[in-house]
């Protein structure tokens, strides 16, 4: 487990007053800070998106964005952002200004091999991820404005965060490889058979929807308190293809999830407010550098910036050709 170095600056609790200065009136209140009409432990399954076939059909995109455009637009200046990739092992990083539509996607990433037509084959993207992203965009807008969130906002935000853990190409490849390895002991499995490989890909698509719609995990994470941390530093926050940072063990008292959702904003979910305070009480430049260090080390394909000032920082840390993390393929972090 890799520790964070010094972190955050004062922020706000969704629905309450700023974390700092300390406010006895607010901090003496009980309950979840995502104030909705229902408490997390009573959230109805009607609030979250489950089987893709249950949701209405939208457009049929071929390019599947594992980094949604609404999220990346927060890094744009003049409608463009800076994209950093390392094309080959040992090569210098490549910098380019692009629109959000031109980065963070892969054609047919979540496509099924079966279906009645092309729209049906793209159902995980159009009837699942697009709906989650739409809800998350609305929820994050409320976080940004300091508005109180509803139960639907809460679930939309949680499903979006869970999706960011699993929907990147490298994560999907890891899950497919893991399943293929387990299938080697199954009589009749042939790893060279394209039809069987496609069935593995389809099975992982089903797993993605199960993980992101988990009736155990979604309401549990929805019970965590939500904090917005403002990071008005000279150093701007970065993001990447795996932007969500998580602690080791989501059920631990000191657990947290953290997402840079703008060049000067962090979203933190934590069971204990002191965990958020451990970030928000730090000096702002230290926070930006510590979070950026973690973001770049997590990145496996692309790093995103709002300007070109972080090139040397990214060059020194971005190693997409290093071995993936052990066990489940995801890095974990500790609060300061």
pLDDT in tens, 265-304: 999 999 999 999 999 999 999 999 999 999 999 999 999 9
Q: Which two tokens stand for residue 230?
A: 């403002």
Of residues 162, 67, 60, 59, the one with CA closest to residue 105: 67
> What average pLDDT score do residues 13-23 get?
28
Measured distance CA(150)–CA(37) in Å, rounded: 6
pLDDT at position 51:
63
Q: Is the pLDDT of residue 41 over 70?
A: no
Q: Specify whether the CB–CB gap between 269 and 161 falls below 8 A.
A: yes
- The region of weakest confidence among 53-57, 121-125, 273-277, 322-326 is 53-57
Q: Is the pLDDT of residue 218 over 70?
A: yes
Measured distance CA(328)–CA(289) in Å, rounded: 26
Q: Which residue is listed with tokens 């229902």?
A: 38
Q: Is the pLDDT of residue 156 over 50?
A: yes
Where does residue 157 rank: exposed (0-12), middle (13-18), buried (19+ CB within 10 A)? buried
Backbone phi and psi for residue 113, each to the nearest 5 degrees, phi listed first = -80, -20
> What average pLDDT score do residues 227-235 get?
96
pLDDT at position 60:
75
**Helical packing angle, 194-212 and 151-166, nearest 10°:** 150
**Sorting pLDDT into bands at 50, 70 and 90, what band is 12?**
very low
Residues 6+ apart with CB under 8 A from 263: 74, 75, 236, 237, 305, 306
**Sorting pLDDT into bands at 50, 70 and 90, what band is 48?**
low
Q: Specify whether the CB–CB gap between 256 and 335 falls below 8 A.
A: yes
Q: Is the pLDDT of residue 81 over 80?
A: yes
Q: Is the pLDDT of residue 199 over 70?
A: yes
Whether this model's pTM surpasses 0.85: no
Helix, strand, coil in percent for the chain, rounding step 5: 40, 15, 45
DSSP per-residue codes, 43-92: --GGGS---GGGSPP----SEEESS-HHHHGGG-BTTBEEEEE--STTSP
Q: Specify whether the CB–CB gap between 55 and 209 falls below 8 A.
A: no
Q: Which two tokens stand for residue 226?
A: 């939500």
**Domain limits for position 244:** 2-334
Q: Which two tokens stand for residue 194?
A: 């394209």
> What average pLDDT score do residues 24-34 get?
32
Residues 6+ apart with CB under 8 A from 25: none
If one counts the domains in the chain, the total is 1
């Amino acid at each position: 487990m890799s520790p964070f170095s010094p972190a955050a600056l004062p922020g706000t609790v969704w629905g309450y007053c700023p974390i700092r200065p300390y406010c006895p009136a607010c901090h003496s209140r009980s309950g979840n800070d995502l104030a909705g009409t229902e408490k997390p432990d009573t959230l109805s399954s009607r609030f979250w998106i489950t089987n893709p076939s249950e949701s209405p059909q939208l457009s049929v995109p071929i390019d599947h964005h594992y980094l949604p455009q609404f999220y990346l637009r927060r890094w744009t200046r003049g409608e463009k952002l800076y994209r950093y990739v390392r094309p080959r092992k040992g090569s210098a990083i490549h910098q380019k200004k692009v629109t959000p539509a031109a980065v963070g996607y892969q054609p047919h990433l979540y496509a099924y091999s079966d279906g009645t037509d092309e729209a049906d084959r793209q159902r995980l993207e159009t009837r699942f991820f697009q709906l989650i992203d739409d809800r998350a965009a609305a929820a994050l807008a409320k976080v940004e404005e300091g508005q109180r969130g509803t139960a639907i906002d809460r679930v939309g935000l949680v499903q979006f965060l869970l999706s960011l853990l699993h929907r990147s190409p490298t994560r999907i490849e890891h899950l497919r490889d893991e399943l293929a390895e387990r299938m080697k002991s199954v009589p009749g499995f042939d790893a060279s058979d394209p039809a069987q490989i496609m069935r593995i890909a389809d099975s992982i698509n089903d797993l993605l929807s199960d993980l992101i719609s988990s009736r155990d995990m979604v309401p549990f994470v929805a019970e965590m308190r939500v904090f917005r941390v403002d990071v008005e530093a000279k150093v701007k926050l970065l993001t990447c293809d795996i932007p969500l940072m998580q602690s080791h063990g989501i059920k631990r008292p000191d657990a947290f999830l953290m997402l840079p959702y703008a060049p000067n904003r962090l979203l933190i979910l934590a069971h204990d407010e002191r965990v958020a305070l451990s970030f928000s009480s730090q000096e702002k430049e230290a926070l930006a550098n510590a979070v950026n260090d973690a973001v770049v080390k997590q990145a496996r394909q692309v790093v995103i910036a709002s300007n070109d000032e972080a090139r040397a920082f990214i060059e020194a840390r971005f190693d997409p050709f290093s071995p993936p993390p052990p066990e489940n393929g995801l890095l974990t972090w500790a609060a300061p």
